[in-house]
Amino acid sequence: MSPIATYSTRCGAPERSTRRGERPMKQPAKLAVTGLCAAGLTLGLGIAAAPAQADDDYEVLVVGETLGFRHSHIDDTTNAIIALGAEHGFAVDVWDPPQGNSPGQPALTLPTSPFTTADDLSKYATIIFASPVDATNNLDPTRPRLLNDTELAAFQGYIRGGGGYVGLHAATDSMHTVPWYSELTGGSARFRNHPAQQTATMRVESPTHPSTEMLPTEWVRFDEWYNFTTNPRDDVHVLLTLDESTYNPGSGAMGADHPIAWCHNFEGGRSWYEGAGHVDAAWSDPLFLSHILGGIEWTAGVVEGGGDCVTFGEVGGVLDGLADGSMRAQMLGGDMSEYLADAEAAADAGDHAGAAAILRQAQGKAHGLQDDVLVAKIGDLIEWQVGLTG
């Protein structure tokens, strides 16, 4: 890659107060901003990318590399995230080299793959997959995929080390031959098909999460609506669902329960996915961008709330891990398992106040096991359920 293809996308951000009142954030220092930086870009024509500014709170990576169908929104998405970073205090690197028929973004892309080692990737608070389709949906194991074995191992190590992942739109249409990746994106749900682009209603299911608290309860949008190979609900914290009665879902209709945005805590990392965003206009919509910013910031670990994408299964897994064979652990663990099952049943029935009350009893038992993680995770379940009583 020629040096002319490396641009810096790091610009200073004004001082700002804590977002959403959740967790204090580092205040970035003021920076003398050039005219180009004010537009969200510093163009390093013919020179290497500038180092990260000390004024940035953190760094993110946008991955748009395409080995299959290339979505036109990738460029708009990249520029929108760069602008969000300039405004909200994070630096942006881009990995989107030209590949075959895909033009990529040669003016922005890094000169070489950043997926070298988990340690190298650890510089990024979160990694954003902006519809990087790789044409592996034919499940041919010999077909080149988005990340090769070395790159995949680096990415897995990054996630397991506490890294963040944001999947946008066709992020579920990549690396079909890597089961781990579909577990990361959420519940092994893969892109199946989509009907014609049309207006539909999304319904907010988790209204107190930092990525949804700004949204109307019923959010009407024009987009390309994905049907998935499976419903991910059992493994993820659903944020938004599609109301199929408000549009024609086509042959892949998922029925009354059609998640379209979700999040979860996965192997030590944080994963957030939004299935909308195909149309270019989405990436200049302030409300949609505020939603995306919430996902970026939550996966980066700089905001929290709404139960932090906890699931009942996640808490059950923590509880199972505390079994040590002792009579005390067996008795308390058994009681807590019953509480969790009863709370989940109440939540599924729509009795969120009842679920929260049961969970408070479970949290009391959890103190007896003297495990701070379990106590905190049950606290997240309580916060989630209380937020749904609204």
Please give the full DSSP string across 85-104, using - where no structure is assigned.
HHHHTEEEEEE---BTTB--
Boundary (domain end) residue, out of 266, 300, 334? 300
Query: Is the separation of the CB atoms in 77 and 283 below 8 Å?
Result: yes
Among 178, 163, 87, 198, which Cα is nearest to 132's? 178
CA–CA separation, 85 and 370 (whole Å) = 40
What Rg do the C-alpha atoms of the chain give, in angstroms? Answer: 21
* 22 pLDDT above the threshold of 50: no
Full domain range(s) for residue 362: 312-387
Provide the pLDDT for residue 55. Answer: 67
Q: Is residue 306 part of a domain?
A: no
Kind and range of the H or E element at 345? Answer: helix 327-348
pLDDT in tens, 314-371: 999 999 998 887 887 788 888 889 999 999 999 999 999 999 999 999 999 888 887 8
Element (H, E) at 278: none
Say yes or no: 125 and 225 in one domain.
Answer: yes
| 287 plus 354 within the same structural domain | no
d(C-alpha 185, C-alpha 191), whole Å: 11
Find all residues with CB under 8 Å of 288, minimum gap 6, and list them.
221, 276, 277, 282
Question: What does DSSP say about strands 237-243 and 259-266: parallel, antiparallel, or unpaired?
Answer: antiparallel
**Within this chain, do residues 147 and 274 fall inside the same structural domain, yes or no?**
yes
- Confidence (pTM): 0.86
Q: Is 194 exposed, middle or buried (0-12, 13-18, 19+ CB in 10 A)?
A: middle
DSSP 196-235: S-EEEEEEES-TTSTTTTTS-SEEEEEE-PPEESS--GGG
Question: Are residues 242 and 325 located together in one domain of the fold?
Answer: no
Of 211-220, 274-283, 319-328, 345-354, the one with minimum mean pLDDT is 319-328
Structure tokens at 46: 């013919």
User: Any long-range contacts for 24-33 (C-beta under 8 Å, 24+ apart)?
Assistant: 25/57, 25/89, 25/302, 25/303, 26/57, 28/55, 28/56, 28/57, 28/89, 29/54, 29/55, 30/55, 31/55
Residue 343's contacts (CB-CB under 8 Å, 6 or more residues apart) are: 312, 355, 356, 358, 359, 362, 381, 385
Domain membership of residue 305 (yes or no) is no
Q: Which of 273, 300, 327 is the last residue of a domain?
A: 300
Residues 355 and 248 in one domain: no
Same domain, 279 and 328: no
Pairing of strands 164-168, 124-130: parallel
| pLDDT above 50: residue 52 | no
328 and 245 fall within a common domain: no
Tell me how many domains the chain contains.
Answer: 2
pLDDT, position 333: 82
Residue 190 sits in the same domain as residue 321: no
Contacts of 318 (CB under 8 A, 6+ apart): 371, 373, 374, 377
Residue 180 and residue 140 in contact, taking contact as beta carbons nearer than 8 Å: no
> Are residues 222 and 346 both part of a single domain?
no
Residues with Cβ within 8 Å of residue 293, at least 6 apart in sequence: 84, 88, 211
> Quick one: average pLDDT of 120-137?
97
Average pLDDT of the chain is 87
Residue 41 has pLDDT above 70, yes or no: no
Residue type at 182 in one-letter notation: S
- List 198's β-bridge partners, or say none: 223
Q: What percent of the chain has pLDDT over 70?
A: 86
* Chosen domain end from 270, 300, 330: 300
Cα first-last separation, the chain: 53
Instruction: With respect to residue 167, please indicate whether it lies within any of the assigned structural domains.
Output: yes
Report which DSSP code applies to 8: B
DSSP string, 42-80: B--TTSPPPPPPTT-SEEEEEE---SSPPPTHHHHHHHH
Count of alpha carbons within 13 Å of 90, Cβ hemisphere only? 25
